[in-house]
Structure 1
Amino acid sequence: MQASKLINNLKFKKVIPESFEDFSVSLLTQDTREVIGGSIFVAIKGAKADGHKMVQEAVKKGAAMIIAQEKLTEISVPVVYVQNTKKAMAILSSFFYETSSQALRIIGVTGTNGKTTVTHIVEAIFRNLGEKTGLIGTMYRKIDDEILKTKNTTPDIITLQRTLNKMVEKGVSTVAMEVSSIALIQGRVWGIDFDVAVFTNLTQDHLDYHKTMANYEHAKSLLFSQLGNKYTHSGDSKVAVLNIDDPVGERFEADTAAEILTYGIKKEAMIKAGNIEIHSEGTDFDLIVFGEKFHLSVKMVGLFNVYNILAAFAAAYACGVESEDIIGALEKFPGVKGRLQLITSASKVSAIVDYSHTPDGLLNALETINDFAKGKVFCVVGCGGDRDKLKRPKMAKIAVEHSDYPIFTSDNPRSENPQTIIDEMLVGVPEQVEIPTFVNRREAINFAVAMAKPKDIILIAGKGHEDYQIIGDTKHHFDDVEEAKKALYLKEQRD
């Protein structure tokens, strides 16, 4: 695409100089590491770095045009001045990557817990129908069968548009995408044409960023308020899928012009679950869809996973998929790595690895395990550094009240002192209760396994699918599943 044609999509701008030699744009980027000859570099002013200070470096590497919102001097290439470079980047990336989101069916999922599980179930439903699918979220980006690494749950807008464009090229038709609250506030999904938006739930998380729950709720609401504002022919309209059991889900009804599809267990939802039976191998329940009843036996454990299944069912149903086809995929779905992932052993001690890193997530996991545990329940848990400190004593209190043997440890301490994080967790524990604490997460897991007896279950909470531990600025390889398997194997050898 020619530069003049691309920047013509910016309505309010000032180009210095007004006349320049046109060129074919090779790349649009905000990252100087990506710059090649013929690139347009967008100077983004972020929390940690200011792209305006990197313009000279971008030009040296071959950037042929700069998009800026602050005055630049001594620049040898054309500069396009705009009011907001983030908004300009969203507009330019949409057109540079051929408005790819409009060629795809995109299902966005937001909420505190369940996003990863819901998107994986949605993707499995459409793959089961024979479609090529895409997935964007916490664990990776997936284009049909190709797995790409990701830095954030929701990538920056250029990476996102680039990924969607590649999906179109590869013949993908449906994309399931996690949409984080921070991404919504930062405009990372501006210009993305969502067809269905799903709300799972809202509980405490990310208050280090949002400061208040009201701000956090507002961030989530943006997915629904930005969900189209026009009505088209039947079958093409946008749909908001809302958990009606959560009061926030009810409030989001007023935030969107889209058609509403509700799901729940407690209230009279359009799609509902009843007669729920949870056991160690999975969950059985009745699914009621606008009054029509189906019985499901799924391999996923827990009440919160029933909510996840209802959310995914509703998303597919909103896209016109028949109930029987959705149910067929649901009953085959094996679950998601690091989400209540069961690890058994010959010693009859079991471990469960779960991504429960919020108070609500930890409570859900422990309540689920307590429903089927035949022995004692251990809980190895920590809290992340440089993140919401208010949840630390709350998670500690939940671990003490809902497990027989709580053990506190590290979970990505980042720049904080891990012992300080543990001490802040201990504030939520009664003085008379003694908690084993281990700064070294491996030692905590080994201790729990050594203490456990046959039929006991060890919940290793917080990291789930992650295969790293962030200490300072360094990522060290660390996988809870690997560590649990090693510890259980050594226990078998000793016993």
Structure 2
Amino acid sequence: MAELKYLLERLSYETLCGSVDIDVTKVVYDSRKVEEGSLFICIKGAVSDGHEFGKQAAEKGAAAIVIEDDIELPEGITVIKVKDTRYALALISAAYFGHPAESLKVIGITGTKGKTTTTYMIKSILESTGHKVGLIGTIEAIIGDEVIPAANTTPESYIVQEYFRKMVDAGCDAVVMEVSSQGLMMHRTAGFVFDMGIFTNIEPDHIGPNEHESFEDYMACKGLLFRQCRTGIINRDDVHWEKVIEGHTCEIETFGFSKEADLRAADTKLVSHPGYLGISYNVEGLMNFPVEIDIPGKFSVYNSLTAIAVCRHFNVPVENIQKALKTAQVKGRIEMVKVSDDFTLMIDYAHNAMSLESLLGTLREYKPARLVCLFGCGGNRSKLRRYEMGEVSGRLADLTIITSDNPRSEEPQDIINDIKTGIEKTDGKYIEICDRREAIEYAIRNGQKGDVIVLAGKGHEDYQEIKGVKYPMDERIIIKEILEKAHL
């Protein structure tokens, strides 16, 4: 139960009908969930417009309705008009849950790549010094011992506020969250101020009819974070960094390899031995110390440097940072699984040409005896992605094992044939094993000394979707079963 006037107090609005001096039982933006006494907010979605259900909400007993377009409603109901109902939902939700962000240090990370890994690194480092940290991201939300699988990178504003409330109630003092450009554009993060906003990098991505109309629009949406945070922590090496922070209202500090960056990485060295790949470097500038990470590649330097830049503001001791980074692992993001002293096996979420090229290019730098890439492509998705991924793997891997991913309603063999169209443009060797479990078993049984084997595409997913049904499939469990069967 909440007083409507209190829920609206930080919002500009017009009362078209009724009074704001009433109590509402709950805040709802899905008309199917309206109950007697609810406040219903008419949201314009990609598929339907909540304004079309306003009358239905009133008939179900809604006490008040928030609109941005004029609609016909029965008499006797309070009608509030605002400029943007999505923005209103964010501010009303924050008030409804008692402005929980004001009791948390809120860290938001935006960028094309690196958001997920960086959030887990920050959580790991902060928790090593006794902070209790909530997480909202692409894979899951973590609130104390509760883990909630994610539907969106940045959930709807009501859910964000609900999570914040639960975090405060669970004793969290900080939250680290991935902030998508869509989330910023759709006001999912309105209604509170981030203590820190982080920009990792930006590449032309998410451009299309249902996302951003242009790269400029994509950059502008990312930049909204820096008008909603107190401190902006920026990757100075990204060529677009100045454009992204245009119009910022926060303090700015930078990180990167650049000599002009406030926090810098220097003397980078690749670290490898059987079953292990990592990278070491020296931190210079605002802090000075050596660090080694158990995740390969230059982007691991960026991710860890970002985490260090954030944790500096929490006065985390250097030894805690070093220790936490040494053990920080993210499910399905270059996740190494120990199977042999002879070769290295890892699981990664790379599921498009850009991410696969980045991954395989990184692993090539470690000069493996053979680089083996096992992957498939999702059904009911662009054929172009299949051709491109086939071509990338054919060019960069010594052996490609083509298999199934989530075939959905397509025939797995049809998808494999499309991948072969791309791979045959190269001189790359490949074999095809349609059953993913059999393909993984083949990769492990035929691993050779010095090989690096990557299982790409599934990452953190623990299912395989076939003909509308999601069957359990966790690659970690499959690997364990293969090793037990082989008595390895």
Partner of 2:125: 125
Are the counterparts in 1 of residues 336 and 345 from structure 2 also a CA contact under 8 Å? Answer: yes
Partner of 1:288: 283
Partner of 1:148: 148
Partner of 1:218: 220
> In structure 2, how many angstroms separate the alpha carbons of the residues matched to 1:410 and 1:83?
47
Partner of 1:264: 256
Q: Note the C-alpha offset of 1:489.
A: 4.2
Partner of 1:95: 95
Supply the RMSD in Å over aligned alpha carbons: 3.1
SS at match of 2:464: strand
Partner of 1:183: 183
Match of residue 304, structure 1, among 299, 324, 328: 299
Q: Note the C-alpha offset of 1:247.
A: 0.8
- Once the two structures are overlaid, the 10-residue window that deviates more, 388-397 or 124-133, is 388-397
> In structure 1, how many angstroms separate the alpha carbons of the residues matched to 2:266 and 2:11?
52
Partner of 2:239: 247
> In structure 2, how many angstroms separate the alpha carbons of the residues matched to 1:409 and 1:5?
56
Q: Note the C-alpha offset of 1:359.
A: 3.5
Distance 1:215 1:416, change over 3 A: farther
Partner of 1:232: none
Partner of 2:310: 315
Map 1:61-140 to 2 at 5 A.
62-70=61-69, 71-74=71-74, 77-140=77-140
Distance 1:484 1:44, change over 3 A: same
Partner of 1:355: 349
> In structure 1, how many angstroms separate the alpha carbons of the residues matched to 2:366 and 2:202?
26
Partner of 2:203: 203
> In structure 1, how many angstroms separate the alpha carbons of the residues matched to 2:192 and 2:412?
39
Partner of 2:24: 25
Q: Note the C-alpha offset of 1:122.
A: 0.9
Map 1:402-417 to 2 at 5 A.
402-414=396-408
Q: Note the C-alpha offset of 1:89.
A: 1.0
1:2 correspondence with 2:13: no
Deviations 1:21-77 (A, max 9, x none): x54323212134544443212121211233234445545655332223341344774
Q: Note the C-alpha offset of 1:439.
A: 5.7
Q: Note the C-alpha offset of 1:108.
A: 0.6
Distance 1:440 1:14, change over 3 A: farther
Distance 1:477 1:219, change over 3 A: farther
- Once the two structures are overlaid, the 10-residue window that deviates more, 463-472 or 82-91, is 463-472
Distance 1:155 1:472, change over 3 A: farther
User: 1:340 is matched by which residue type in structure 2?
Assistant: I
SS at match of 1:119: helix
Are the counterparts in 1 of residues 128 and 324 from structure 2 also a CA contact under 8 Å? Answer: no
1:39 correspondence with 2:38: yes
Map 1:461-472 to 2 at 5 A.
461-471=456-466
Distance 1:220 1:385, change over 3 A: farther
> In structure 2, how many angstroms separate the alpha carbons of the residues matched to 1:114 and 1:357?
15
Are the counterparts in 2 of residues 107 and 195 from structure 1 also a CA contact under 8 Å? Answer: yes
Extract unaligned runs of 5+ from structure 2: none
Are the counterparts in 1 of residues 464 and 471 from structure 2 also a CA contact under 8 Å? Answer: yes
Count of aligned residue pairs for this structure pair: 480
Q: Note the C-alpha offset of 1:184.
A: 1.8
SS at match of 1:375: coil
> In structure 1, how many angstroms separate the alpha carbons of the residues matched to 2:82 and 2:468?
34
Deviations 1:318-368 (A, max 9, x none): x24255255245345331111211223259554310122343432332233
> In structure 2, how many angstroms separate the alpha carbons of the residues matched to 1:223 and 1:389?
34
Are the counterparts in 2 of residues 143 and 167 from structure 1 also a CA contact under 8 Å? Answer: yes
Partner of 1:233: none
User: 2:7 is matched by which residue type in structure 1?
Assistant: L
User: 1:405 is matched by which residue type in structure 2?
Assistant: L
Q: Note the C-alpha offset of 1:176.
A: 0.6
> In structure 1, how many angstroms separate the alpha carbons of the residues matched to 2:278 and 2:286?
21
> In structure 1, how many angstroms separate the alpha carbons of the residues matched to 2:383 and 2:250?
36
Match of residue 338, structure 1, among 292, 311, 332: 332
> In structure 1, how many angstroms separate the alpha carbons of the residues matched to 2:181 and 2:160?
16
Distance 1:246 1:382, change over 3 A: farther
User: 2:389 is matched by which residue type in structure 1?
Assistant: M
Q: Note the C-alpha offset of 1:221.
A: 2.2
> In structure 2, how many angstroms separate the alpha carbons of the residues matched to 1:267 and 1:274?
9
Partner of 2:454: 459
Distance 1:426 1:303, change over 3 A: same
SS at match of 2:222: helix
Q: Note the C-alpha offset of 1:477.
A: 2.5
Identical pairs, percent? 34
Extract unaligned runs of 5+ from structure 1: 229-237
Deviations 1:1-31 (A, max 9, x none): 2123323544232433x348x5432321213
> In structure 2, how many angstroms separate the alpha carbons of the residues matched to 1:186 and 1:151?
16
Are the counterparts in 1 of residues 304 and 325 from structure 2 also a CA contact under 8 Å? Answer: no
Distance 1:329 1:63, change over 3 A: farther
> In structure 1, how many angstroms separate the alpha carbons of the residues matched to 2:100 and 2:141?
16
> In structure 2, how many angstroms separate the alpha carbons of the residues matched to 1:72 and 1:474?
42
Q: Note the C-alpha offset of 1:311.
A: 0.7
> In structure 2, how many angstroms separate the alpha carbons of the residues matched to 1:72 and 1:420?
51
TM-score normalised by L of structure 1:
0.85
Partner of 2:165: 165
Are the counterparts in 1 of residues 219 and 243 from structure 2 also a CA contact under 8 Å? Answer: no
Distance 1:291 1:83, change over 3 A: closer
Are the counterparts in 1 of residues 281 and 290 from structure 2 also a CA contact under 8 Å? Answer: yes
User: 2:348 is matched by which residue type in structure 1?
Assistant: D
SS at match of 1:191: coil
SS at match of 1:93: helix
Q: Note the C-alpha offset of 1:410.
A: 4.1
Q: Note the C-alpha offset of 1:136.
A: 0.8
SS at match of 1:361: helix
> In structure 1, how many angstroms separate the alpha carbons of the residues matched to 2:196 and 2:128?
19
Match of residue 370, structure 2, among 364, 371, 376: 376
Match of residue 367, structure 1, among 347, 361, 365: 361
Distance 1:218 1:442, change over 3 A: farther
Distance 1:67 1:272, change over 3 A: same
> In structure 2, how many angstroms separate the alpha carbons of the residues matched to 1:72 and 1:414?
42
TM-score normalised by L of structure 2:
0.86
Q: Note the C-alpha offset of 1:100.
A: 2.1
